[in-house]
Amino acid sequence: MPRFCANLSFLFDDVDFPERFARAARAGFTGVEYMFPYAWSPDELARLLRENGLVQVLHNLPPGDWAAGERGIACLPGREAEFRAGVERGIEYARALGCAQLNCLAGLAPAGVPEAELHATLAANLRHAARRLAAHGIRLLIEPINSRVDMPGFFLDTPRKALALIESLGEENLWLQYDVYHAQIMEGDLARTLERALARIAHVQIADNPGRHEPGSGEINFPYLFGLLDRLGYPGWVGCEYRPRAGSEAGLGWLAGWR
């Protein structure tokens, strides 16, 4: 049976962020993920995890200036020193929180920069980050994000591109974060991708399409996919990264059969 974790950047967002840990625990979750921890001290977050009996499953490396519209800097030439400093900050938080996986957002492709230069920058940054994280027993993940609906211009926008990059780099500590919502928009063929790429998939995230709402609200056959993950022996977590239509707890009915 899949292990589900609550994404606190999306769920229980009717209360302040620190209060969401207790809400997740009361809803039956044993693990949490969220986009970024950096607005809070590692000690405060570790306390919230400990007091609520939760595992920190995942968070992202620093993404640049999110408020200004940046969505990662790993592909941006000239930002390498900032990226490397972000890797060290991510490691600091991950170690304090007992988090074994960090996700890297590639970023938006800037106009006028050749694709080959962006690819080379991303590859060099991922190689550095994979090796630094490996030294601390932390996995580095990359996530393809759809460029059609949610993030136009996102450089790494399909699982096919991400898997090709992983293969070309040959880094043992570089893994795929497979978000079925983004994958459905860009490629579909979810089941065959899971079957083919499971050995390099370290984390799965879910939301239905269209709308990025809870499972059962759209076109994706989640009972089939959850059963497939079980049959394939997927050992990781499944992150609930969706926008509830009618409140977080009210939207958890889909989960009842998968406890």
Catalytic residues: 143, 241
102 Cβ partners below 8 Å, 6+ apart? 58, 59, 60, 61, 90, 91, 94, 133, 138, 139, 140, 141
